[in-house]
Structure 1
Amino acid sequence: MALGILPAKLSKILSQKGSSMAATTKKYLLTFDFDETIVNENSDDSVVRAAPEQVLPEWLRGTFKEGYYNEYMQRVLKYMAEQGVMEKDFKEVYENIPLSPGMLNLLQFLMKNPHPFEIILVSDANVYGIETKLKALGLNSLFRKVFSNPASFDKRGYLTLQPYHSHSCSRCPANMCKRKIITEYFKERAESGVEFEKLFYVGDGANDFCPSVVFTSTDVVFPRKNYPMHQLIQKRIANNPDSYQATVVPWDSADEIVCYLQEFMKR
């Protein structure tokens, strides 16, 4: 599977934690997904609550194609703009999306205990929605960087959406491959003198599974229990136990992640 970097080279980059790289700072990279991980809903579905009668017409819903959700959401936002949905309406929806169970405890724990984690967010939602929610929680400073689809309001006050990037990964939707994002982030930070000894990943979806298949035995993934990421991990391990290297810690409540990190930090 081509990703712009050959799989062997990609794996090498992700396995350089603890190697003799020319780095001066050692940290642990903690990566979060957003939809159905930090928040308890798919935020793209949530914005429909700002639409007239909180429903989309059947003709619009029928334009969705698997793997092209970003393009579909561009059409949804265009329709909502035509219906007069403005920034204040979107802002209210995003601010009120409920968090996943235990997630506030986890994020507040990390705010109080930032060392030795470097925390990023990688999501196929959109930057505006994510930042709006994090600011409402007073937690936007927790994340060093947010990787998501660009979204902004044009001169008319309409919310517009763009794809994050292009890639050649057959596993991921056309607009985003999280494996490519994380690989490039590792390279960028290494060039800045930061070496990650360990990677922690909190997610739920199939696009969260994609990067995790090249994680090493030193890394830890926290898939939301019985969601697609967890199911794909279980299937892969059942088919070939040696083909998945990361430690797997499923969660129903993010309180379970807090407990794991607390114990890890005592070591």
Structure 2
Amino acid sequence: MAGLVVVFDFDKTIIDCDSDNWVVEELGINNLFTQLLHTLPWNSLMDRMMTELHNRGKTIEDIEECLKKVPLHPSIASSIESAHAFGCDLRVVSDANVCFIETILKHHGILDCFSEINTNPSLIDEQGRLRILPYHDFNTSSHGCKICPPNMCKGLVMEKIRASVSADGKKQLVYVGDGAPDFCAGLKLEGGDVLMPRKDFPICDLISTNPLLTKAKIHEWSDWEELGANILSTVNRSFIRDESSSNVKTDQLVPVDCKYQNGSISATAHGALHLPVSPPH
């Protein structure tokens, strides 16, 4: 088993949209969502939206069918499958939730490629309603990070991942993400690690504002063809130490855009409300 661990954010990284926004828009509760947007933390708001869907007669099956419509670019799917086939340890760190992530990954046939999904818990209660809970119970105590939302600090999650993979003898971490909390996760990477930020997204703004804080090598990406090439190049360098094998030739592709990425609620994606320029330490 190789020593490479690749950790992915989910929304706007594996998929080109926010899965929460997708469900809100597709199932017609955008108006209520917008009304309540600034009254609740995002995670609590999504739990409230699941109650609204239940009250309108929507079932967990309706939600799952909606999620199965989320597009997945073939380049990211194939790079995930290839990295898994090479023996890489693939994981997810996301502020979405278990139900949404597992439904989408399973539908596209890549759920089994991931050894671990770190995200907000979800469950179906006695009434058949989907409940979305916080990863970190901020009602009892704060995680203390000024970059991340109250329900999940990705930096703390990455500290746990590093501790676990170090115990297993694995050496190199790769982190792929787009948002401000992904910057927090990237701060936990070391000199031999790789950070893959999505170009022109909040993570790149924070890296530029705080250039001395990131120790890892930085490989930016703009679309999924480029991201796939970056991932496979890193895998090649890690496993066979042959620089020539990393010269992946790709034709430019337009990524599959999420239908609602530029919609009325997308500007308030999870991390976008928390954009300080100082690290959480």
Q: Quick check: 2:79–2:231 contact (8 Å CA) kept in 1?
A: no
- Percent identity (aligned): 30
TM-score (norm 2): 0.76
Deviation at residue 26 of structure 1 after TM alignment: 6.4
- Residue 82 of structure 2: SS of its match in structure 1? helix
Deviation at residue 95 of structure 1 after TM alignment: 1.1
Matched, 1:157 2:102: no
1:31 aligned residue: 7
Structure 1 alignment gaps of length 5 or more: 1-24
1:92 aligned residue: 65
Equivalent residues, number:
232
Aligned counterpart in structure 2 of residue 142 of structure 1, from 113, 122, 130: 113
Deviation at residue 215 of structure 1 after TM alignment: 1.7
1:10 aligned residue: none
Where in structure 2 are the equivalents of 1:251-266 lying within 5 Å?
251-264=221-234, 265=236, 266=240
1:194 aligned residue: 168
Matched, 1:178 2:154: yes
Q: Quick check: 2:180–2:202 contact (8 Å CA) kept in 1?
A: yes
TM-score (norm 1): 0.80
1:225 aligned residue: 199
Q: Quick check: 1:101–1:253 contact (8 Å CA) kept in 2?
A: no
Deviations 1:112-156 (A, max 9, x none): 32x2x2111010000011111111111111110101111122222
Once residues 118 and 87 of structure 1 are traced to their aligned partners in structure 2, the CA distance between those partners, rounded to angstroms, is 30
**In the superposition, relative to structure 1, how do residues 67 and 200 fare at CA in structure 2: closer, same or farther (>3 Å)?**
farther
- Residue 38 of structure 1: SS of its match in structure 2? coil
Matched, 1:129 2:100: yes
Deviations 1:51-95 (A, max 9, x none): 3xx24334x423223982101111111111111111111111111
The alignment yields a C-alpha RMSD, in angstroms, of 2.1
Runs of 4+ in structure 1 displaced over 4 angstroms?
none
Once residues 42 and 74 of structure 2 are traced to their aligned partners in structure 1, the CA distance between those partners, rounded to angstroms, is 26
Matched, 1:78 2:54: no
Which is worse superposed, 91-100 or 38-47? Answer: 91-100
Aligned counterpart in structure 2 of residue 64 of structure 1, from 37, 48, 51: 37
Structure 2 alignment gaps of length 5 or more: 138-142, 242-281
**In the superposition, relative to structure 1, how do residues 84 and 50 fare at CA in structure 2: closer, same or farther (>3 Å)?**
farther
Once residues 137 and 72 of structure 1 are traced to their aligned partners in structure 2, the CA distance between those partners, rounded to angstroms, is 27
Once residues 128 and 196 of structure 2 are traced to their aligned partners in structure 1, the CA distance between those partners, rounded to angstroms, is 38
Once residues 85 and 189 of structure 2 are traced to their aligned partners in structure 1, the CA distance between those partners, rounded to angstroms, is 27
1:209 aligned residue: 183
Aligned residue identity for 2:136: H
Deviation at residue 262 of structure 1 after TM alignment: 3.5
Once residues 66 and 34 of structure 1 are traced to their aligned partners in structure 2, the CA distance between those partners, rounded to angstroms, is 25
Deviation at residue 196 of structure 1 after TM alignment: 2.8
Once residues 168 and 225 of structure 1 are traced to their aligned partners in structure 2, the CA distance between those partners, rounded to angstroms, is 28
Which is worse superposed, 145-154 or 257-266? Answer: 257-266
Once residues 246 and 27 of structure 1 are traced to their aligned partners in structure 2, the CA distance between those partners, rounded to angstroms, is 16
